[in-house]
């Protein structure tokens, strides 16, 4: 009997896109649609799926609880987990950007630029390379509010359509990098599940645009 493979999928919008991709690639075939279950089993393919908060995916994979995971590159860059990044998946595409008011002065007259972000490590690395001192303020959501309320000069965040920025009179000041969802594997389980992982990569490559 084929050994069970475990794949960690993110909850939310990226999770829905991931399921669609896995179904198109005929990796996920035995699925009744969304439910509140946190773990489902596709018996036909001998794969278990875990539905996990996006920020926890890489932890489950790194620790070997899941063999594979789908996670945004943004989260991966921020967390610096020891995992293999096997394949960009062409879903969850967006850009990392510095955003703020149009008149925000990036080369701040103050010595230190105040940056609010869910991604303090990425923000720190980016501005360090530019030689700009910053103070990072970690926020867990609605980051756009920070410059509106004077909490920060700018924000560092992922931008998909830019509609939230626009609705709050903010705009992209600098594009930092493109990001998308990637398929990841833990270093140990990759070794033990190698043939099945390669088969999944092959099937995904056939449908990724």
Residue ranges in contact with another protein by CB under 8 A: 62-65, 82-88, 186-192, 194
Estimate to the nearest angstrom the gap between the alpha carbon of 192 and the chain centroid.
Answer: 25
**Of 24 and 180, which CB lies nearer to another protein in the complex structure?**
180
> Shortest gap between Cβ of 65 and another protein (angstroms)?
7
**55 φ, ψ (degrees, to nearest 5):** -75, -10
> Shortest gap between Cβ of 62 and another protein (angstroms)?
5
Residue among 60, 39, 35 at smallest CA distance from 51: 39
> Shortest gap between Cβ of 152 and another protein (angstroms)?
25
Those residues with Cβ within 8 angstroms of residue 181's Cβ, 6 or more apart along the chain or in another chain = 14, 17, 18, 70, 71, 72, 73, 88, 89, 91, 92
> Shortest gap between Cβ of 59 and another protein (angstroms)?
10
Helices (H), the chain: 13-24, 57-62, 73-79, 120-129, 145-148, 163-167, 187-192, 194-207
**Of 94 and 99, which CB lies nearer to another protein in the complex structure?**
94
**Of 110 and 187, which CB lies nearer to another protein in the complex structure?**
187
> Shortest gap between Cβ of 43 and another protein (angstroms)?
22
Residues 41 and 37: their CA atoms lie apart, in Å, by: 10
**Of 86 and 145, which CB lies nearer to another protein in the complex structure?**
86
């Amino acid at each position: 009997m084929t050994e069970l493979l475990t794949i960690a999928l993110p909850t939310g919008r990226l999770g829905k896109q991931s399921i669609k991709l896995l179904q198109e690639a005929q990796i996920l075939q035995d699925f009744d649609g969304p439910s509140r279950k946190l773990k489902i089993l596709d018996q036909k393919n001998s794969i278990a799926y875990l539905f996990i908060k996006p920020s926890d995916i890489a932890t489950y994979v790194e620790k070997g609880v899941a063999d594979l995971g789908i996670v945004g590159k943004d989260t991966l860059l921020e967390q610096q987990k020891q995992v293999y990044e096997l394949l960009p998946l062409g879903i969850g595409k967006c850009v990392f950007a510095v955003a703020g008011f149009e008149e925000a002065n990036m080369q701040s007259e103050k010595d230190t630029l105040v940056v609010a972000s869910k991604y303090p490590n990425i923000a720190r690395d980016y501005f360090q390379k530019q030689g700009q001192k910053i103070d990072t303020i970690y926020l867990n959501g609605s980051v756009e509010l920070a410059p509106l309320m004077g909490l920060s000069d700018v924000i560092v965040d992922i931008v998909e359509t830019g509609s939230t920025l626009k609705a709050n009179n903010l705009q992209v000041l600098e594009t930092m990098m493109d990001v998308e969802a990637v398929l990841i594997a833990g270093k140990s389980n990759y070794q033990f599940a190698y043939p099945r992982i390669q088969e999944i990569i092959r099937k995904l490559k056939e449908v990724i645009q």
